[in-house]
Amino acid sequence: MNDHVNRPFALFLRWKLKWVVSAYLRVCRGFRVVGKADLPMARKPCILVCNHAAFVDSVYVICSVRPRFTICGAKSKYFQKWHTRFLFGIANILKVENKNQFLQDCGRLLDAGEILLVYPEMGRHPDGMGEFRTWTAEAALSRSVPVFPCYLYGTTKGQDGPKRLFVGAPLSPAGTAESFTEVMRDAVLRLKPEEKGR
């Protein structure tokens, strides 16, 4: 198991900081969640998928989801300095060396009843949503766990106004990794506010 996640002291700090940051985002920044009832309310094996435009995206998702979860993940180069390792420990971010290790760690975490947050683009796209890799679909199909599509509005370039996290109904994994990847991407895109008249 990757030793960068679920460390008790880091989780305790995250729990303490979460409520302070959540209050600030909602009261001072007007952040809110649309479709919150569709989010998992307790720990259970499942995967959240979301677009990824900025480093701060994970902060908004952490402040939106009640139970703890593991973010899968960040490239190993970001773990080279102690201060980023410390911050990633608080955020519960998994180090990703390669696809094989990613899938093995995701499988172990899901088997342990954990919620995972994955950015299927496997990198940030500040100008708009990129293509999804099949890694997330492979992880979901291997354990038959539901996937919750999310769209974070306001961190992509050109998106103005208060930040919003839009959440859709969970998807049941089916088909091939390639076909389910397209299903996930379409579900995330449908949540994009411009396409829903919001």
Cα(164)–Cα(161) distance, integer angstroms: 9
Identify the CA nearest to 67 among candidates 45, 43, 89, 46.
Answer: 43
What residues form DSSP beta bridges with 32? 164
Distances (CA, A) of 24 to 42, 87, 181: 24, 19, 35
Average pLDDT across the chain, whole number: 93
The CATH architecture to which 8-196 belongs is: 3-Layer(aba) Sandwich (3.40)
The predicted structure's pLDDT at residue 168: 97
15-43, pLDDT tens digit by residue? Answer: 999 999 999 999 989 999 999 999 999 99
Residue 9, CA atoms < 13 Å, CB-side half-sphere: 2
d(C-alpha 10, C-alpha 16), whole Å? 10
Tell me the pLDDT tens digit for each residue of 117-141.
999 999 999 999 999 999 999 999 9
Residue 1 has pLDDT above 60, yes or no: no
Residue type, 88: F
DSSP 8: H
